[in-house]
Amino acid sequence: MKKFTLLELLVVVAIIGILTSMLLPALGKARLSAQKSVCVSNMKQIGTSMYIYGDDNDSHVVTAAVSGSITYSKQLSEDYGMSDAIFSCAQDKIERSNDRKTRSYSMNTGTSITFEGTSTPKDDSDCNGVTRMATYNTVSYSEIASDTLLLTELWESINYAHGWSRADMTWSYWNYMSDWTERLDAFHFGRPNYLLIDGSVKNRVHSTYNQGMFTRFAND
């Protein structure tokens, strides 16, 4: 039986090393692509639960937040069975304050009557069950332009599951785009995902977001 020489073994090891170095970036990209696909799936599931909420509430859109304790994620989680994991993007590695669970997505307050400063309940006891937020948002899906953003990504330490902070993203996004561009650059290489009124999930370069994407009424 022929034995391998030391030189031949070193050549084989070198070839394996080269192949590994070539494969690792490809594997890394595949992993990131898979994570983004899960993120897109999460947003679609959230959109579906929002439509179910609408069916229960005269086609009204769930609002981002109506007090310091009631938010869209809390409503959908507690009353529509959405797991906390659905509100988290796998690529969002930012540690939340106070060890809270991750919420990577925030709602557009332009789809909510609370955007106009309506009164809000003090706590959950003021409105309970699947209709607890309906009193505070009577905007229907049919009133909103089809290309309006309903939900988009917002990765930040104070944005945590069911918390009031960053439950809405309208003003936050303008700050991000004008002052904190590098934060948005981290979201899927600068192409954040967003959920439209029609339930579809898209992504685009964050610098191409414009005021029209936050328009509330279809006839505006």
pLDDT tens-place string over residues 166-193: 888 876 777 777 778 888 888 888 889 9
Does residue 198 surpass a pLDDT of 80? yes
Reported in sequence order, the residue ranges of the chain that DSSP labels E, i.e. its strands, are 105-107, 149-153, 193-196, 201-203
- Residue pair 167/64 in contact by the 8 Å Cβ criterion: yes
* 77 secondary structure, DSSP code: H
> With bands split at pLDDT 50, 70 and 90, how would you rate the model's confidence at 27?
low
Task: Please tell me the distance from the alpha carbon of residue 114 to that of residue 55, in angstroms, as a whole number.
Answer: 20
Mean pLDDT calculated for residue range 135-151: 81
Q: Which amino acid is at 216?
A: R
**57 in any annotated domain:** yes
> For residue 93, what are the domain limits?
38-114+134-217
Mean pLDDT calculated for residue range 161-165: 85
**67 in any annotated domain:** yes
Does residue 161 surpass a pLDDT of 80? yes
Mean pLDDT calculated for residue range 10-23: 71
**3 in any annotated domain:** no
Q: What is the pLDDT of residue 209?
A: 84
**103 in any annotated domain:** yes
**24 in any annotated domain:** no
- Beta-carbon contacts of residue 153 (< 8 Å; ≥ 6 apart): 39, 89, 92, 104, 105, 106, 187, 188, 192, 193, 194
Does residue 4 surpass a pLDDT of 80? no
Q: What is the pLDDT of residue 120?
A: 44
Does residue 129 surpass a pLDDT of 60? no
pLDDT tens for 61-114 read: 888 877 656 789 988 998 888 999 999 999 998 988 778 889 999 988 777 655
Task: Please tell me the distance from the alpha carbon of residue 192 to that of residue 185, in angstroms, as a whole number.
Answer: 9
**Residues forming beta bridges with residue 194, ordered by sequence position:** 152, 202
Q: What is the pLDDT of residue 3?
A: 67
- Residue pair 151/194 in contact by the 8 Å Cβ criterion: yes
- Residue pair 55/107 in contact by the 8 Å Cβ criterion: no
Task: Please tell me the distance from the alpha carbon of residue 215 to that of residue 111, in angstroms, as a whole number.
Answer: 8
Q: Per the structure, how many domains does the chain have?
A: 1
**123 in any annotated domain:** no
Task: Please tell me the distance from the alpha carbon of residue 217 to that of residue 173, in angstroms, as a whole number.
Answer: 20
**4 in any annotated domain:** no
**78 in any annotated domain:** yes
Q: What is the pLDDT of residue 166?
A: 83
Q: What is the pLDDT of residue 194?
A: 93
